[in-house]
Structure 1
Amino acid sequence: MDKTDQPRRQRGQRTDLQFTVSEPVELMGFLIAQLPHKNRNNIKSLLSNKQILINGKVYTQFNHPLIPGQEVTVLGNRAPETTQYRGLTILYEDSDLIVINKQAGLLSMATNKEKIRTAYSILSDYIKKENPKNRLFIIHRLDRETSGVMMFAKSEKVQRLMQESWNDTTKQRTYIALVEGVPKPKRGTVASYLRESKALIVYSSQNPDYGQLAITNYAVQKSTSDYALLELELETGRKNQIRVHMQDIGHPIVGDTKYGAQTNPIGRLGLHAEVLSFEHPISGKLMQFSAPVPKSFLSMMKVQE
């Protein structure tokens, strides 16, 4: 029925399994066929424990439709327990990296106005409890009002390795955006050259001499007559890239008055970093982390259903 790949990588003592879908089928039926040693209850436990990934994203719905070419991964172990702080949750930590889910409203790093309560300061205090000599280095940033996955390095070496090879080693950066109106077509690519002014506003141009190339792929996931939920894949990582590109196509992100929004129905910027996948700078292993889409985003899609 379907082609089975070799076990993908080791997590502890249990091996992850990866399968390629060859024909349309629901997720439960696919898993029953691929895992004959497990019954329906075993498979439901795998789903509820977030051990089933489709193209790297966790799915828990047993009747989710699969299409040919998708990769289904069965994780050998349950996701580790996360550590929570006010404003952020630690998703992963090793001797080189810390990966977090940052809440909206928390700065990534200090500014002239806010020097104490930032993601950097919270994590810096956290690692210094183990050893006062421990240091933290930022790899990439999220805007204050953007939530989701971001990571820090525990050494200058790891920070440099990640930043210098960012485009090559970062395999997936998926964002979810709640925008005003519904883009047409419902799937597309926005490409332009971005430059930041002295007033810290990013401007977009089609002139290659104007700034740095930025490419954003978008797809409408759900919509009402007034709003749409988009999934966005970044090919580049420029400052304010998604916010500017959504303004470019006439569908600014809700709450983003800086880049053209007229409404703020959820009381925050409607942008969330959902998935980050990258090659570990030291081990070379493929790492993948996700942060659930905020409920306020999803609730906007139910208003007119």
Structure 2
Amino acid sequence: MLSLSVAPTTSCWRQAASIRSCTTSNFAGKIPKRRRSVLLLSQQGFYRGRTLQSPAGGPLRGSRVPPAGEWGRSCVVARLVSPVAGTLRVLTTVLAAVRLPLMLEGYEFFDPDQPVEEYYGCLPHWRQEGVLYFVTFRTADSLPADKLRFWTLERADWLRRNPPPHTREQRAEYFRLFPARMNRWLDQGCGECALARKELKRIVQDSLRFFDGCRYRLDEHTVAPNHGHVLVQPLGSWELSDITGSWKKYTARRINRIIGKQGSFWEEESFDHVVRSPESLEAIRRYIRDHSRYLQCSRDDT
């Protein structure tokens, strides 16, 4: 059996430092490109620590790379070691960025040709099986009452003029006019901003990561002083509303106990947006990673 030892580093976007050629009984010739070497070493989810197929056809064992939110942002040093004489005629050492192609990450994007389920609470929600969602959740006091009232009336008028079912262009317009604008308001740091306290922020972060790989796949995520952003893909029969509801119920109970308050900590409904393309996914990832530099709500203990 081939084994794979992994050493993550933070120099995530650098290209491979060196690649030496290798030949095996089932894979002849040189590894021509860095991307191909990464592909060979990660065909079946190396970034999640699962069993892999080696170039020689045998399994590889890999330790986990950094946790959710760090995917695709690490480098890997891999040494292929042969326990059976003749399996590898030449050993190879590979230093390559583990930035998996999106098709290998297992994400599905919005498909306009597939059924879309729409339902409405205070906010409209679009659902499609297997897709990735960009979710924003906020604290109950995160928006001034006058702004929220104006936003609600304007959104109600838009929905009246654009009854469902909505086209792809209408969904894009809705996201630009309402969730995207709401995000800009949230970044102004209104409300108590309780999550600026490190211990409270940690409660939310731990909750987001707890069922990663079981109920959902967690991609980039961040927790700001009065809201949070998450890229998440529900797994199996789990519904997005059940996942976000579980996060809010657990964290609200713990945080209210610490700060000595009762009542609603979170706004009941979250904003959710179906990720529509690989390009959209990368743009949202950049937004989440860079989010902290735009925050205007600062606290001495952050």
TM > 0.5 fold call: no
Q: Which has the higher strand share?
A: 1
TM-score by length of 2: 0.26
Larger Rg: 2
TM-score by length of 1: 0.25
